[in-house]
Structure 1
């Protein structure tokens, strides 16, 4: 039977060849003849379908042969933009690179698939093979940008590292190349805690001739490293409108009374999106949370600007002092009574008279930080564009009882770091070193496990109970009218 299958590896039909590969590898012991044929297929077969099947079989092929086949597969530049092939090759390569980093670097010499170059570098960083990787980087031109990007990605969020002994010489060599390579080298150097890199970012930030994107990048990298040089510059940067959103986010990385007060004192002058970001920052730490609570008491910041999910985080961050002002959070309510109440409000006639455009504004304020609809909004909660939202019963069930049917991916996770910062969201990735969380209002945040003081998985959704109670009845009607639209209104 094996001989018959091997003969099919040269069949004219690409699907016959593909199935032959799959069947020959089912018991994880393809013959020597089959392995030789696989190597030729990886090198010469013009069918991406066949190459995909071969890539998917890598984990069922003996290691020595898998290296050779993977090396040939990564030399097909035409597969770089394929949706599946680079990832499938990597699934087979990843355990090999883990056990033999040097062979992984050897494979890079002829690699024509940028994603693979990036992922190999990232995997070596995860394995703390920094010196080996840096030595390689110092002697290549091919794939250099992709390898450096992989290094940068692997080091993201890590500011607890000392520069490897061979880094400084390689760094100087890379900066001479200028452009993207020099920029990536500087970003990597800062992750190694290099003073020179910090000073370069500060100089970039202070130089008004630098582009806005360059200055934003400098803010974000300096903030992630909690650099005191940035902390001292924040009061001056706050007045620069193009940078303000990033500056407000950066304040959450520090724990300074004057920075919290800076946000509160300027709150009224902020734009709507800046105010949302400001509330997120002020609810991230006990010191800032207390300043926000006082601002609410003094009506410097309106209570209506605080989303229900933020109130729940403030309860955790500030404690009973927040409850004394705000009142009970998530009071128990009878679902049946709430359902009857909103069924009586949301009659077909009342919804017909509601305002779709105003409903969109209510959605953006109350729902859009977490949910996306028609391409706009956050991604921490489920996408709503294709949901059964036109069905009023479906809408009420999910809004009145948000934790009634909750997928594991959407359970609320609360992490508090050793320096007192609180993150609320859901975990989207995790490895031995870091947790990646999707946070309200942000794409994601990476948190080093060594920095985590406590981590709780709550049996509830991030969406709080009673969210409809935080808005007026006419706003509920407008929201439902907007939710029931099948396309956005201009």
Structure 2
């Protein structure tokens, strides 16, 4: 009986645990490497590449957010074998694990991979993300070159937030005007992630290199916390809806009178939803998960729609409150808590579904009663867009886009 067959039940029980939120990390956090040792033995005892890939992926999940982890016994020899596997997934997972285990050859190979334009963009992006997650300074220095490759632009922009780089503000601001809307938003969010970056963003706002309208309200909140009054002196006052809530609800209720909604276009409303709401909310199986799912919400009730649109922070479920994290190297991340275990937290933001932060890197964190959804969303829309959006939100089944 092979070692793999002998331990098959145990291995797959472990694999299941590794894919359960937090279980794999608890194994690592306890410094009990026996389970990982068993997986390593199993990987080396089978030639089934699909099994190898699944086990290696489980190990990666268990080690997510960790740095400088001691390699299991025999990993060095096994990784050399896996590097020659016919399975790309096996090769990539093994290389990623070797990086986490501090293998300098693997790190050098990963740096070469990131710079190799013949490698698939997705692999280059994932390799870059892992290198930056390991706080690799060489990878950070490559960002000023990678940002000019269209397939890597977004990853490079966001990479500047992960590892502090004094060149970041100049690199990002100099390219801002040539970027698309998603990339420009990523630039603004990255520049708001560290105080030194935020100072440069403030100067760019003063010089009209970046317009205040390009700074989302939730990002502006973070910038106000970082820079104080000197930010609002340039950006303007942040909206305060509480005192005007009843007035605004009456205003939009009058706008969305039954005859207007009846004549509205739900398809156009879906387009408005995709542009302004879908990054955070799921409706009919599509959208992000930063905010509550809307499919089963009380969407037929106009008062419910308007109250939650005008003043989303009135009553925020605990699971959707904004979590603000400051890391020991000065990075600021705002999002909702998606996962937490003994070694890491995972935040979900409107732009990134998984931002992994090792607990050892956290200086402090706080939970705000505010929603990630900014106040005054409807104020930024044209009147007909508001009416069309309300029509779409009150539908009972999905409609086609216009």
Range into which the TM-score falls when normalised by the shorter chain? 0.7 to 0.9
Residue matched to 2:45:
141
Residue matched to 1:267:
176
Residue matched to 2:368:
458
Deviation at 1:125, TM superposition (A): 2.8
Residue matched to 1:127:
30
Deviation at 1:203, TM superposition (A): 1.2
1:231 to 121, 135, 140: 140
Residue matched to 1:81:
none
Conserved 8 A contact 1:285-1:421: yes
CA gap of 1:482–1:302, structure 2 versus 1, over 3 A, is farther
Q: Write the deviation string for residues 448-480 of structure 1: whole angstroms up to 9, x where unpaired.
A: 111111111112222233333344444433433
CA gap of 1:152–1:252, structure 2 versus 1, over 3 A, is same
Query: Unmatched 5+ residue regions in structure 2?
Result: none
Q: Distance in 1 between matches of 2:29 and 2:93?
A: 18
Question: Once superposed, what is the RMSD of the aligned Cα atoms?
Answer: 2.9
Q: Distance in 2 between matches of 1:376 and 1:272?
A: 21
Residue matched to 1:42:
none
Query: What is the correspondence of 1:85-484 to structure 2 with a 5 Å cutoff?
Result: 109-111=7-9, 114=12, 116-119=14-17, 122=24, 124-130=27-33, 133-134=36-37, 137-138=40-41, 140-142=44-46, 143-163=51-71, 166-177=74-85, 179=87, 180-331=89-240, 332-352=242-262, 356=266, 359-484=269-394
- Equivalenced residue count is 386
Q: Write the deviation string for residues 89-137 of structure 1: whole angstroms up to 9, x where unpaired.
A: xxxxxxxxxxxxxxxx999713298564352693533432236633761
Pick the structure with greater CA Rg: 1
Deviation at 1:385, TM superposition (A): 3.2
CA gap of 1:134–1:237, structure 2 versus 1, over 3 A, is same
CA gap of 1:280–1:110, structure 2 versus 1, over 3 A, is same
Q: Distance in 2 between matches of 1:364 and 1:462?
A: 17
Q: Distance in 1 between matches of 2:144 and 2:17?
A: 39
Deviation at 1:283, TM superposition (A): 2.1
Deviant stretches of 4+, over 6 Å: 105-108
Conserved 8 A contact 2:278-2:287: yes
Conserved 8 A contact 2:255-2:383: yes
Deviation at 1:379, TM superposition (A): 1.1
Of structures 1 and 2, the one scoring higher in RCO (CA 8 A, sep 6+) is 2
CA gap of 1:367–1:303, structure 2 versus 1, over 3 A, is farther
Secondary structure of 2:352's aligned partner: coil
Q: Tell me the TM-score normalised to structure 1 length.
A: 0.71
Q: Distance in 2 between matches of 1:174 and 1:135?
A: 16
Deviation at 1:281, TM superposition (A): 1.9
Q: Write the deviation string for residues 300-359 of structure 1: whole angstroms up to 9, x where unpaired.
A: 223333222222122223332211112232424232222222222323344456555554
Q: Distance in 2 between matches of 1:474 and 1:302?
A: 25
Secondary structure of 1:124's aligned partner: helix
Deviation at 1:176, TM superposition (A): 4.1
Query: Which region of structure 1 is more displaced relative to structure 2, 412-421 or 381-390?
Result: 381-390
Residue matched to 1:487:
398
Secondary structure of 2:152's aligned partner: helix
CA gap of 1:488–1:279, structure 2 versus 1, over 3 A, is farther
Conserved 8 A contact 1:255-1:287: no
Secondary structure of 2:243's aligned partner: coil
Q: Tell me the TM-score normalised to structure 2 length.
A: 0.85
Q: Distance in 2 between matches of 1:305 and 1:364?
A: 18
Residue matched to 1:17:
none
